[in-house]
Structures are given as C-alpha cells and as structure tokens.
Structure 1
Amino acid sequence: MTNPQTAHAAASDSASQKEAPNPSLSVTVGIKDLLGLLSVLGIAAGLIANKILIERYNWRIDAAVYREGALALVNGESLYAQPFDMGDISLPFIYPPIGAILFAPWGYFDFITVELAGNLVVIGSSLLLLLCLYLVTNAVLSGRDKLLAFTIAAISWPIALFAEPVFLNADLGQINILIMALVVMDLLPIKRRIPRGVLIGLAAAIKITPLAMLLYFLVKKDFRGIINAVISLLAFTAIGAVLAWENTKEFFSSTLLNLSAEGDSGVDTTFQSNSSIQAMLYRWWTSKADAEASSLPTILWIVLSLIAVAAVAYLMHQLFSRGLHVEAVMVNAMLMLLISPISWSHHWVWLPLWAVVFFVRYRQHRSHPKFLLWSGVILSVMLLMLPPKWWFGRDGVNVFELNFWEKLLISDWTWLSIGLMITLGLGLKAFPKIAK
C-alpha cells in the first residue's frame, strides 16, 4: 500500500519539474531574442542608409539611359542607332533588347520620371543586396540556422551599402546587383524551385558576362546546369527577338561586336574605374594609341585570361572537394570580372559578399584560421575607404602618365581579387577534403 505522504511528495516533485524553467531553453530563447533585436537594428540602419543613398541625387545617369531605352522600345524606335543625350554626355544603350523589355513599364507610364526610375533602381538593388547577403550567409551555415543567417545579413546590410562598388552603383543607378542576385539565387539557395542554370541564363541574356559563371557547372561536371543555362539564354533572347526583332538583329550584328570601343561603351575603357586584366595591361603603355597600335596587349590579355581560367578552375575543384561551394561561387565571380574587357568599379558589387563569407567562415571553423579573418578585414577596409583608383583624381586623369606605383595602385580591385584568391588557395590546408 502506498504511503500518502510519499505519494504527495512524488506529486509535488512532478509538478515542480513541470513548472521549473528549462535553463537551456531559456538560453536559446534569450539568444533568439537578441538575434531578433540585432536584426531589427540592422534593418533600421539599412533603411537609414537607403534614405541617404536616395537623397544624394535626383538624377542617376544609367537609370536615365534605361528609361530612354524603354521609351525608344515602346515608341518603336531603334535602341542602338545613336547614343541618348544625357546633357553633358551622350551614352548608348548597351544591353540586348530583353534588357529594355524589362524596363518597358517605364516607357508606358508618364509618372515614372527619371528621378523615380533612379530611386526604384536604388531601392530594388538594395533589397536584392540584402537577399544576397542572406543567401550567401545561409549557404555558408548550410541552412542550419536561418535566424542567425538573417541577423548577420541584416547587420551587414547597412555596411555593405556604403562599400565603394555598391555606393557607386547606387549613384549611377546601375543594375549590377540585379545581375549578381540572379546568379546568387541560381547557385546558392539551400532549397530551390527553379532548375539550376535558368537564372544564370536570364542574367546572361541581359548582360553577356554571366556566361563566365558556367565554369561553376563545368568544374562540378553538372552538365544539366549548363544545358539549362543555355536553353534559358536562348529562350529569353528569343523573347527579345519576337518583341523587338529589328533591335535584336542590330544588337547582335553590330552593337555587341563594338562594345569595347570607346564610342560604343560611352567611356574610355582605360579609364581608372575599369578594374580588369585588359585595362590593367593597356595602362602600362605610354598612350592608348600606342597600346592599340600593338597586338601585344591583346595577346597578353588572352594569355593571362586563359591562365586565370585554368587557375580558378583548379582552385574551384579544390574548394568543391572540401565542401566550400560558396567560396567557389565567389572566385568564379572574381574571374568573370577579371577577364571581362570592362569591369567598372561599380561592377565589383560581389566584394561585400565575399567579405561576409570570410568572416562567417572564420567564426564557423573550429580553429578560426587567421587568414580568413585578415582577408575579411583587409577587404572590408578597402571597400569602406576611398579606393586607390581615386587617389589621383576622378576626372581628367591621364592614366598613361602615372608612375609605376600609381599604375599599380589604380588597378586596385584587380590586384586585390587576385591576392585574395591566392591567399584562399594557400589556406586550403585548413580545410580537409571530404571523403567521397
């Protein structure tokens, strides 16, 4: 027979156990509350940063070109017959017709002024940057902690908005973050609804350079991804052809073939903002005329580009074998920018993402490799300070008259990206290969 006192004591103990808070649960809830608070603060700071970016200008030159292209398309005019008058300068529409089709609503609605168009580009690009930061961080964390990934993205967001490439991208009203977002959404989501390769195909239909990202699929031997990308590219190009046949014919028969020429790109491609292998090589000559008169710069560019492709492909293979898929995407993006003839400073919007990858991977790794920390620190400092390319002035700088060290410094993103990839390659010993 059970002792009543014993039964009462047991019942009391059971009740107290049910009522007593779980210490580990309290800690978890506390951390979640903290992460939630930090996320809110990060988003608030990001909104303030957006307000600052929007109020800097009421006229953004590239957004104005997009709007003029949309108007020309809607009115049945040629996108490429002549550059659009932008006041002090005339600039061409250098995207395929599908690019103008994306902006077509701007041509239909009169209330979308140049100022509003520029603001829409800034806001849209900013939100896409936040999305990219989240997808990159979540991929590094292997999708194990979505709240932590969002918190890191939210905190990084206002800082990334003031990184030089992103800041300049906003000032001009450029769509480089849209192109980057299409690639990131294609390669890095943990769960996907769209077949891999489709969004890269769309990005390449808008701007040719994302085709370089097919190296990711090639190194992984993901031939389905390549096929999807090619089909997507052809499909979106076909849509452009159906809706704007004459413009499509003109673009692929003439405009595309002359994009590297100063008259067709709108700006001298040796201008200090161009951080590509080709621009870096051209600047070593005494003048642009001398460089163009010689076949050596072009030969060197082709040779160095092929070497870069081979080296990056090998590095990506090593990264894949260690499960470092995000880093593989980053180095592929750096290759894309390096081998492209034109990679203006505002094209390098990938760099803030890479800085976040370095920091998150550093904290995630059990031994906290110092090379990851310092890579992130150096990259962040370079992004948030005035880059060396602007130390010698912004307008009227004759890059051919600069001395050796100045010519070296002016190609800042070129050398920095190469240095970071070399550092990453040398630091691979910190990451053991994954057994097959």
Structure 2
Amino acid sequence: MPLRTPFWGLFDYQLDLDVYRGGALTVWDGGSLYDAKLLGQMDYTYAPVSVLVLMPFAWMSFEAARIVWSVGIIIALYLVIMLSFRALGRRASWPLRCLAIALVAVVMLLEPVRTTIWYGQINVFLLLLILADLLRDERSRLKGVGTGIAAGIKLTPLLFVLYLALLRRWRTLAGVVGGFVLTAVVGFAFLPRESWAYWTDKIFDSNRVGAPQTLGNQSLRGMIANLMHTDSPNTAVWLVLVLIALGLGMGSAVLAHRRGHELLAVSIVGMTSCAISPMSWGHHWVWFVPLVVICVDLMLRADLSVLRRVVAGAGLVALMLVAFAWRTHFAYPMWFVNRTVPDAYFTGLFFKSQTGPAWAQWFLVYPYNAIFVGTTVATLVVLGLPVVRSRRATLSAPEDPLSDSVETPPR
C-alpha cells in the first residue's frame, strides 16, 4: 500500500498513540484513567507511570505528536540495530552506519515494525531501552534498572527476572527489581488512585487488552483460542504450552549467554515473553529486529564456512517471509475499532488464515511461533554441539568492508 493511502498508509493512523494521548489528557483533566473509554471505546492498559512519560504528547496536537512519534520510532530502530552490531563485536564505522540505515528500511517491511509505526505503538522504544540496559558493561551499577523501568510501563519484560535468576546475576536482577519498584512508587506518588486501581484490579484483567480469539494475537493462548474458535481457551492446555515455551526459551537463552552470545540470549527472552503472555499482538514481536542483525552479521563473517553463512542467509530469508507485512484485502464494509471503513487492508501472515487452506490453519494463525521455536531449537542444537563448545565464543576479526576490528562481545 502506498505510504500515504488514507487511513491505511504507514503514517496515516496512529490509533494507539491517540489512545496514549487520551489517557494522559484524562489524567490531566482529573478523570479516572482506567474507567474512561478513550476515543469512545478503548481502555488504557499500561501501568500509571506510563502516563507521566506520555504526558508531553498530550500537550501537542495529534498531527505534531504523530510526526514526533514516528520519527522517534525510526531513530530508535537505527539505534537498536547499531547496539546490536556493537553487541556482536563490531566497531561503529561509516560503512556500518550506512548498513544500519539500510536495515532500518528492511525491518520496516516486517509486520511487527510496520504495525508498530501504523498504530503508533511503544514497543520499539521499550526494545531500545532493554537492549541499551542489558548489553552494557557488566560492571555498570545501574545495569538492570532500564529493564525494570520498561517492565514498570509494560509488564512483559519482567520475564528477564527469571533469566537473570537462572544465571545468578543477582546485581543485575536487583537492578531490574529496583527499576520496577521505582516506577510503582512514582506512580503512587503522582497518581495514587489510578495506581491502586491498576495494581489491585486492572492488572489481572487480560481482556482489557483484547479478546483471546483475535487474529493477530500471537501468543500461545491466542493460538489455542483461534484454533478452537473460543474466547475461553483451556487454561490447563495453555499452562502446559507455557511451561514448554519457558523450557525452550530459558534453556536456549542461558546456553546462548554461556557461549558468549548475549544479544541472542536477550532476544530469545524477549520472544519468550511474547509467547507466554496472555495477549501478544503482532507488534509486540519487535524482537525480530535484533535477529535480523544477527543473521546479517553471520553472513558477513569471512572466518565462517560458506555453509554456515548460507544457513544464516536462509534463516534470514525464512524470518523475513514469515514476519513480512503480507497484505490481505477484505473488500466489504466493516467496523474497525472506532469507525466504519468501506473495505480493509490488514497486514501479517496470520490474516491469510481467513483465505488459506484448512490444513494450514495451525501455522497461519500463529506463524511467529515458527520463528520462536526455530530460533530456540537452532540455538540449542548449534551452540550445544561439541565442536562449538570447544571453541571460544569470541570470533577472530572478519575480513569484511564494514569493520577494521571486532571487539569482544559482552558476556
């Protein structure tokens, strides 16, 4: 779709940004944040402290806010990519910066990123905050605090507490807990009524985010709901799948960390949080962005065998095909959130389940599971091989045009 197609163009909607502004304006005007129906029907779902962060956008016009927000997302994508390359041991150089700019355009073709921009979502900013925090030097006293603040805004990053506990990285874990508690304290200090309502009631109502049986709910619970055609998926089945996902995710993340691949480990934990969450929209899976960088980095390393570089390239192609912003056109009027539209253009492979064959439904309703399972299983197999265990995680300097030297990746 052209970027400026009315309503459906990349920069022509930003509904969630408008909801953020509506929540901030409700608080500014003395209203009840979690009882208000924003834009006529939308609930505010984030923790109270988020309103304080978003308040400046309520003080500007919606047109100004959407421009600032969209530009901010693009800048954040660039910083995420550069941080990822740095974590992989590459020094910043102009060729690398040019590659990062090109990759910004590439990852905008992914449904999670495309939808984040279209809705005006917050996910890329949280991704940047977590990567900047957890990929910093281990000696940093504030390591973990940024992740805790991200969790205080949107709860899913709390899974990093389990990851850090498994690694016995107690100081970083304390930083996460401290950052999280800080956001709650600030929330109670400035918004006591909203904070009490959220932490004692609203936090337990996952239906405020959306009904489980919704195309685009890329969580295990959403998979069960969509396959079984119910808004009350079996809790026991869901919990079993959650335990399996935790085993795959945490096992592969811990292994990746111990082999010196911290960026991969952090990305896997991020994807695991999306998988086990009761509700995960497609745009929550922005963790695919560092995976793209990892694949590109492997393809450029001259010290790897041709076979491994080809496999990395194949993995990148598979990731792009599964997470691509495939368009599905519904040529009939429908109610879309807060307005009636004459026809609809939805993006994401999961919308192909409406027109795809019945035998492929198990895949089409939850395609991101393929990336999650593929990444975790590949990590367990490849990094668990004896030939890999016998080598140091730090690779020798690659002879490529992007970097003169390679730093030791953070462990």
1:304 to 2:251 alignment: no
Deviation per CA, 1:367-411: give whole Å up to 9, x if none: 241432211121123333514212245xxx9x9xx8342243121
Whether contact under 8 Å (1:138, 1:149) holds in the other structure is no
Whether contact under 8 Å (1:358, 1:376) holds in the other structure is yes
1:367 to 2:305 alignment: yes
Whether contact under 8 Å (2:144, 2:176) holds in the other structure is yes
Unaligned runs of 5+ in 1: 1-47
Q: 2:380 aligns to what?
A: 425
Query: Post-superposition shift, 1:423?
Result: 2.3
The one-letter code of the counterpart of 1:352 is V
Distance across 2 between alignment mates of 1:322 and 1:119: 42
TM-score normalized with structure 1 length: 0.77
1:339 to 2:254 alignment: no
Deviation per CA, 1:101-120: give whole Å up to 9, x if none: 1111233x3xx122322222
Q: 2:62 aligns to what?
A: 114
What secondary structure, in the 3-state scheme, does the structure 2 residue paired with 1:83 have?
Answer: coil
What secondary structure, in the 3-state scheme, does the structure 2 residue paired with 1:158 have?
Answer: helix
What secondary structure, in the 3-state scheme, does the structure 2 residue paired with 1:95 have?
Answer: coil
> How many aligned positions are there?
366
1:282 to 2:233 alignment: no
Distance across 2 between alignment mates of 1:156 and 1:133: 8
Unaligned runs of 5+ in 2: 327-347, 394-411
Q: 2:33 aligns to what?
A: 79
Distance across 1 between alignment mates of 2:5 and 2:128: 22
Query: Post-superposition shift, 1:354?
Result: 0.5
Whether contact under 8 Å (1:53, 1:171) holds in the other structure is no
Query: Post-superposition shift, 1:58?
Result: 4.1
- Cα 1:319–1:50 change in 2 (3 A) is farther
Higher radius of gyration, 1 or 2: 1
Q: 2:364 aligns to what?
A: 409
Q: 1:218 aligns to what?
A: 165
Distance across 2 between alignment mates of 1:151 and 1:431: 32
1:270 to 2:218 alignment: no
Query: Post-superposition shift, 1:327?
Result: 1.1
Q: 1:3 aligns to what?
A: none
Q: 2:86 aligns to what?
A: 138
Whether contact under 8 Å (2:219, 2:274) holds in the other structure is yes
Query: Post-superposition shift, 1:73?
Result: 1.5
What secondary structure, in the 3-state scheme, does the structure 2 residue paired with 1:85 have?
Answer: coil
The one-letter code of the counterpart of 1:165 is P
Distance across 2 between alignment mates of 1:312 and 1:207: 20
Residue identity over aligned pairs, in percent, reads: 23
The one-letter code of the counterpart of 1:334 is M
Deviation per CA, 1:211-233: give whole Å up to 9, x if none: 11223322332111111110111
- Cα 1:286–1:231 change in 2 (3 A) is closer
The one-letter code of the counterpart of 1:227 is A
Q: 1:328 aligns to what?
A: 265
Deviation per CA, 1:218-260: give whole Å up to 9, x if none: 23321111111101111121011100100100111121111x2
More helix as a share of residues: 1
What secondary structure, in the 3-state scheme, does the structure 1 residue paired with 2:32 have?
Answer: coil
Q: 2:400 aligns to what?
A: none
What secondary structure, in the 3-state scheme, does the structure 1 residue paired with 2:46 have?
Answer: coil
Distance across 2 between alignment mates of 1:168 and 1:315: 28
Match of 2:115 among 139, 156, 168: 168
Counting only pairs closer than 5 Å after superposition, residues 242-253 of structure 1 correspond to structure 2 as: 242-253=189-200
Distance across 1 between alignment mates of 2:211 and 2:351: 16
The alignment's C-alpha RMSD in Å is 2.8
Higher RCO, Cα 8 Å, sep 6+:
2
Counting only pairs closer than 5 Å after superposition, residues 249-260 of structure 1 correspond to structure 2 as: 249-258=196-205, 260=206
Query: Post-superposition shift, 1:300?
Result: 1.6
Distance across 2 between alignment mates of 1:413 and 1:97: 30
Distance across 2 between alignment mates of 1:315 and 1:60: 36
The one-letter code of the counterpart of 2:148 is G
Query: Post-superposition shift, 1:146?
Result: 4.6
